Amino acid sequence: MKGWAVEISIVIMAGGRGERFWPRSRNELPKQFLRVTSETKTMVEETLDRAYLCADPENVFISLREDLLPAARRILPSFPLDQYIIEPLGRDTAAAMGLASVFIERRRPGTVLAILPSDQLVAPAAVFAEELKTACRVARDYDCIVTFGIKPERIETEFGYIELGEVIHTKDSASAFEVRRFTEKPDRPTAEKYLKAGNFCWNSGMFVWKPAVFLGELEKFLPGHYHGLREIQEFADDPDFSLKALPVFEKFEKISVDYGVMEKAKNILCLRAGFRWDDVGHWTALERVYPKDKDANLLKGPVMVSDTKNSLVLNYDENSAVAVMGLKDVIVVKTPDGVLVCDRRSEDDLKKLVKLIASDGDLKKFL
């Protein structure tokens, strides 16, 4: 992009399942394809808008599973078909980010790659764009993996944490921190300790690297992934890529990039983010996005509450009404073909409920 000191490619990761937003999020229409943090745009559209502030349109790609491509094309009808990176099989983020790296190395050689999740709240967009610009320069100049750390605001056990080490003043006077370690989803006492320590950040899940740098780390720590991806790289532009790559993906261990690479790699630098960020990983996260009423309830759609406190009552079915009375600390979500009612303290177990539904032949069709 003109005016940038480094050429950048962006891959938006849009292959997640969003299980903790059931019953609104479904297998064929997960959270990133829903209007969650905006009344007018889906989360993937918001992410794409930010990406276009940072890279030329021909250098922006979307990575997703093949079964999600129809939904993506409905929501993004003008996005070029040849700028989708198709994951033949869901094998978590290590495989997906490795595939993005070999793809960009082949299609956009010489560019720095930024990996952006498609289902996060990030604002203001202009601040994010400037800070991504800095991250790209650092990744280029230091041949390292760069990530954004988010200042923790509360005890949180559903996020990963980054322990910051010594500060490094980069060539353009940005302050980057050595990463001592990544810790994925600690228990509550550990998260409390991290919050008090002052040198821990939340892991944003955003990464910047030269493809060759990340692939070098993949070769060290997940050699099966590395060699498999090198094997399929040569036909990355083949119309039958997904079919040809499937046998290779089937052999990959299902593992996240945090467990598989980041917790082991040594050449990682972290920039403290100056933008607002939220993972928006579950229903109660919406309380940080939308205003609540005088009784601390978050209400949406045709709903009525009485003697109800500290609850979420969300109705996405305009043809029906939801009434809640005499309850507190509950989550009620209504869609045209599903209803969720749970204690808000149990929402972290929603993935377990989704697995139970998947095991029931009569209910599986509602996933």
Residue ranges and CATH numbers for the domains of the chain are: 8-278 (3.90.550.10), 284-366 (no CATH)
Distance between CA atoms of residues 169 and 167, nearest Å: 7
Q: Which residues of the chain have pLDDT under 70?
A: 1-5, 172
Strand partners, 148: 271
Q: How much is the pLDDT for 122?
A: 97
Distance between CA atoms of residues 229 and 97, nearest Å: 11
Q: How much is the pLDDT for 126?
A: 96
Distance between CA atoms of residues 64 and 253, nearest Å: 18
Which secondary-structure segment (H or E) carries 201?
A: strand 200-209
Distance between CA atoms of residues 61 and 104, nearest Å: 9
Q: How much is the pLDDT for 5?
A: 64
Strand partners, 86: 64
Give helix 125-142 / helix 43-52 axis angle, nearest 10°. Answer: 60
Q: How much is the pLDDT for 24?
A: 94
Q: Which residues contact 222 (CB under 8 A, 6 or more apart)?
A: 94, 98, 253, 255, 260, 261
Strand partners, 63: 13, 85
Q: How much is the pLDDT for 3?
A: 46
Burial readout 201-239 (b: 16 or more C-beta within 10 A, e: otherwise): bbbbbbbbbbbebbbebbeebbeebbebbeebbeebeee
Amino acid in the structure at residue 346? S
